[in-house]
Amino acid sequence: MSMEFISFFYVRMRSKTKLFTLNIILQLLILSCTTLQPGMTREYSEPVFRKPESVVLDRTNQCLYVSNINGSPTKRDGNGFISKISTSGEVISLEWITGLDAPKGMFLRESILYCTDISNVLLIDIAKGLILETIEIPEAKFLNDIVVTDDGLLLVTDTTEDTIFILDAGTVRKSEQRLKNANGIFYDGEIVLIGANGDINVYSPDGDSLEVLHENVGNVDGLFKSREEILFSNFFNKLSRIEDGIAINIDKGMFFLDCKADFCRLEDGTIVVPDFDSRLIFYVLNEEL
């Protein structure tokens, strides 16, 4: 065995040892900076998604729809798609609806799935798996989340324009409220909640009025109200709940890791969150929220 080979082998081993040590340190750092609420376990789907941004539950068909940006969130590249999966995470159709640009927020009402796509709102027939209509909002720059009220109003947040667009029977109007970084929006038939200005707010589309419900909670991405509690995600690293007026972390990761976007809650209490990388995170509750 030559000295040259021994020297080469030694250098390679030192390099591998350094990489191994660095990996161990990084994993320990991630674990030390991650907290998970007691009474809960975290499970992951297969990493098959492409920048998943939103997930919604179809109770009738017992499945989930996942929007995949698959590229730049602002580029009209035709790469975006929507996936259809089971409530336990198995892929039914990875590219169920294709040819989109950067699909983000979704809302399901009856048999129509509403989805934002940069400056458009798509209406998708879930039975046929076809886009029925595309509504363009010329003023929009970065449509993000969407809800549809019982009266048929479409409320769509625009994060770049710091506003909500209200679509009503073919007309479009823009909120006069200051809604900095308008993002997550929720509607349950009684109340509209919106994450904006670093707060969680109650919004009335009829009077275009805004009332702060919980202040200084950060950049709210996903929103969900259950009885007297509110769940919300912070895009950068947190999934939280508000209980008795206090924000409590359900899960907190490292900054810019495990970025958490628009989530949904299953009937058994499981919270399904897209991590904006390639997976869905299933937070399984061992105690009721």
For range 42-50, the mean pLDDT:
95
Banded pLDDT at 238 (limits 50, 70, 90): confident
CATH of domain 39-285: 2.120.10.30
CA pair distance 260, 235, nearest whole angstrom: 5
Q: What is the pLDDT of residues 54-73, one digit of tens each?
A: 999 999 999 999 999 999 99
Q: Is the pLDDT of residue 11 over 70?
A: no
Q: What is the pLDDT of residues 126-158, one digit of tens each?
A: 999 999 999 999 999 999 999 999 999 999 999
Give me the sign of the Cα torsion angle 6, 7, 13, 17: positive
Nearest Cα to Cα of residue 158 among 133, 134, 177 = 177
Where do the DSSP E strands lie in 149-235? 154-158, 163-168, 171-174, 185-187, 192-196, 199-204, 209-214, 220-226, 229-234
Instruction: Please name the residue that has the structure tokens 């499981």.
Output: 270
Write down the domain spans for the chain: 1-32, 39-285
Provide the β-strand partners of residue 196.
Answer: 199
